[in-house]
């Protein structure tokens, strides 16, 4: 029989407690149990980055972490970052530059980009390409994504947000 564990996770700032099957991946827990469907599963192999989440402030693959491993930790999703207004400038830049098409990779791309903007304020265009190389986008060919991130990086430097 499956083993269940009482698990408490602070999701987008709100603690939630559920009995969770040990084998449930974090991204499946968020999608199925909490209805936070902004994080997507695509390769379920840790390769494509569509399920990228932030756990205790660091991005990771939601398909490579079990929900029970997040017990007592803080998890942020695209819905949380959007509502908090944390990446409003990044989302606006993506919109303006059409840096997304089908949008399936986009939440993961934005989560990764926000970490880059936070941790590597001096990143060059080549370094942006390197940092984003773990997020698969099948639609855009990446140039618009890189352009958007670069534009926000420059804007945030200018306005002192970095």
Partner 1 sequence: MNERVAPERLAPEPRAEERKAPPAQTAATGYIGASVPRANAKRLLEGRGCYVDDLKLPRLAHVVFFRSPHAHARIRKLDLSRARTQPGVLAAFDGRAIAEYCSPWVGVLGHLKGIKSPPQHAVAIERACSQGEAVAAIVAETRAQAEDALQHVEAEWEELPAVTGMEEALAGRTVIHPELGDNICFRRELATEGVEQAFAAADLVVEETFGFGRHTGVTLEGRSILADYNAAEHSLTVYQATQAPHMMQDIFSRHLGIPEANVRVICKDVGGSFGIKVHVYPDEMATAAISVMLRRPVKFAADRLESFLTDIHAREHKAKVRLACTRDGRILAFDLDDLTAIGPYSVYPRTSGIEGNQVVNLTGGPYRHQEYRARLNVVFTNKNVTCQYRAVGHPVAVALTEGIVDVAAAKLGLDPAEFRRRNLIPDDAYPYTFPSGIKFEKLSHHQCLDKLLALMDYAGLRAEQAQLRTRGVYRGIGLAAMIEVTNPSPAFYGVGGARISAQDGATVRLEPSGMVTCLSSVTEQGQGTDGIFAQICATAVGVSVDQVRVITGDTGVTPYGGGTWASRGAGIGGEAVLQAGKALKSNILDLAAAVLGADKATLEVRDNAVCDKATGESKLPLAEVGRIGYFRPDTLPLKFQAELSATRHYTPREYAFTFTNGIQASLVEVDTDTGFVRLLKHWCVEDCGTVINPLLVDEQIRGGIVQGIGAAMLEECLYSAEGQLLNGSLADYLVPMTGDVPDIEVAHVCTPTRQSELGAKGVGEAGTAGAPGAVMNAINDALAPLGARVTDQPFTPERILKALKKV
Smallest gap from Cβ 42 to partner 1, in A, equals: 5
Smallest gap from Cβ 154 to partner 1, in A, equals: 16
Q: CA dist 16 to 40, 52, 62, 77, 116, Å?
A: 20, 20, 17, 14, 28
C-alpha–C-alpha distance, residues 43 and 6, integer Å: 28
Strands 4-11 and 74-76: parallel
Question: Which CB atom, from 43 or from 72, has the smaller least distance to partner 1?
Answer: 43
Smallest gap from Cβ 58 to partner 1, in A, equals: 19
Q: CA dist 145 to 28, 59, 65, 123, Å?
A: 27, 18, 27, 15
Question: Which CB atom, from 7 or from 106, has the smaller least distance to partner 1?
Answer: 106
Question: Which CB atom, from 72 or from 143, has the smaller least distance to partner 1?
Answer: 143
Residues in touch with partner 1 (CB under 8 A): 21, 23, 31, 36-40, 42-45, 47-48, 50, 77-79, 82, 91, 94-98, 100-107, 110, 129-130, 132-146
Partners of 20 in beta bridges = 5
């Amino acid at each position: 029989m499956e083993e269940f564990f009482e698990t408490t996770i602070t999701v987008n700032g709100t603690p939630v407690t559920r009995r969770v099957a040990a084998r449930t991946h974090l991204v499946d827990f968020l999608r199925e149990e909490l209805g936070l469907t902004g994080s997507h599963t695509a390769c379920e192999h840790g390769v494509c980055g569509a399920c990228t989440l932030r756990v205790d402030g660091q991005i990771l693959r939601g398909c490579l972490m079990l929900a029970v491993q997040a017990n007592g930790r803080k998890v942020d999703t695209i819905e949380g970052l959007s509502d908090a207004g944390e990446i409003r400038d990044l989302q606006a830049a993506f919109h303006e530059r059409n840096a997304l098409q089908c949008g399936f990779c986009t939440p993961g791309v934005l989560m990764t980009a926000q970490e880059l903007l936070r941790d590597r304020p001096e990143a060059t265009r080549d370094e942006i390409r390197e940092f984003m190389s773990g997020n698969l986008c099948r639609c855009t060919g990446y140039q618009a994504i890189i352009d958007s991130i670069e534009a926000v990086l420059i804007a945030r430097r200018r306005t002192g947000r970095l």
